[in-house]
Homo-oligomer: A and B are copies of this chain.
């Protein structure tokens, strides 16, 4: 095991995954176990949020002292990395294979990824902070890679197409999930929270003056549909844009060749 203080110095140790470490298993008095720790941390993260998770609380939840956890894990960050990879595993890669063509595959992957980010509001901040190179995250990355390869896009264009789609999904999922988190913290539904926010916004004359047109558009959109419908539709439209864009690039390459 590696002390937390040593971790930062060596880039090869900047992630749990870049170091061979046997998963120390339970059998001790408390029946602890890395899997149990990670599962409990995911449950607590989903319920209470990233900011509220502490080693002491997690330990209490497991009927144990904070320091007991450090037998199975070097650092709080490690737990987050394990938790992250675990939820990457929720993306259903088998369902992706069943899709008809690369367009549907991209749509499925993107939707599943987005849903995962929204389901686990702590994922966006975490995914931005750590290297995402656990086995499940890598499997997802490879599936994305394979799918983009199917488009026929040339090799040196593929990484940009991958990031165009999936960095978008990350950004979209981040906004959506953080909005949901804030609503939940205020004890409201998303729609209620949205109305409250717009009202607070309207009361602030400085801000309101600055935007004029923008607010009416937002009002118009939300008067017809609930926020979750809007999230879904906008996301679908954006994927249309991305897929159309990839098709164009493929066609241009075909012409040029």
| Interface: A242 (CB within 8 A) | yes
Complex interface: chain B residues within 8 A of A88 (CB) = none
Give complex CA distance A206, B211 in Å. 53
Give complex CA distance A163, B174 in Å. 12
**A196 touching B241, Cβ below 8 Å:** no
Name the interface residues of A104-158: CB closer than 8 Å to any CB of B.
124-125, 128-129, 131, 133, 135, 138-139, 141-142, 145, 155-157
**A210 touching B139, Cβ below 8 Å:** yes
Give complex CA distance A188, B214 in Å. 44
**A155 touching B217, Cβ below 8 Å:** yes
Q: What number of copies of this chain does the assembly contain?
A: 2
Among B18, B171, B241, contact of A171 (Cβ-Cβ < 8 Å): B171
Query: Residue-by-residue, is A1-22 near B (CB-CB < 8 Å gives 1, otherwise 0)?
Result: 0000000111110100111100
Among B12, B142, B155, B171, contact of A200 (Cβ-Cβ < 8 Å): B12
**B17 touching A164, Cβ below 8 Å:** no
Residue of B nearest to A210 (CB): B138
Complex interface: chain B residues within 8 A of A142 (CB) = 210-211, 214
If the complex has contacts A135-B210, A142-B214, are A161 and B196 also in contact, measured as CB distance less than 8 A?
A: no
Residue of B nearest to A10 (CB): B186
Name the interface residues of A213-252: CB closer than 8 Å to any CB of B.
214, 217, 221, 233-238, 240-249
Give complex CA distance A4, B232 in Å. 34
If the complex has contacts A125-B128, A138-B207, are A160 and B237 also in contact, measured as CB distance less than 8 A?
A: yes
Shortest beta-carbon distance, A170 to chain B, in Å? 4
The 8 closest A-B pairs by CB, nearest first: A245-B245, A167-B171, A160-B237, A12-B200, A241-B245, A164-B238, A244-B248, A168-B168
Beyond A8-B186, A171-B171, 17 extra complex contacts between A and B, CB < 8 Å: A12-B199, A14-B182, A14-B185, A19-B204, A20-B204, A128-B174, A131-B182, A142-B214, A156-B221, A159-B234, A160-B233, A160-B236, A164-B238, A241-B242, A241-B248, A242-B245, A244-B249
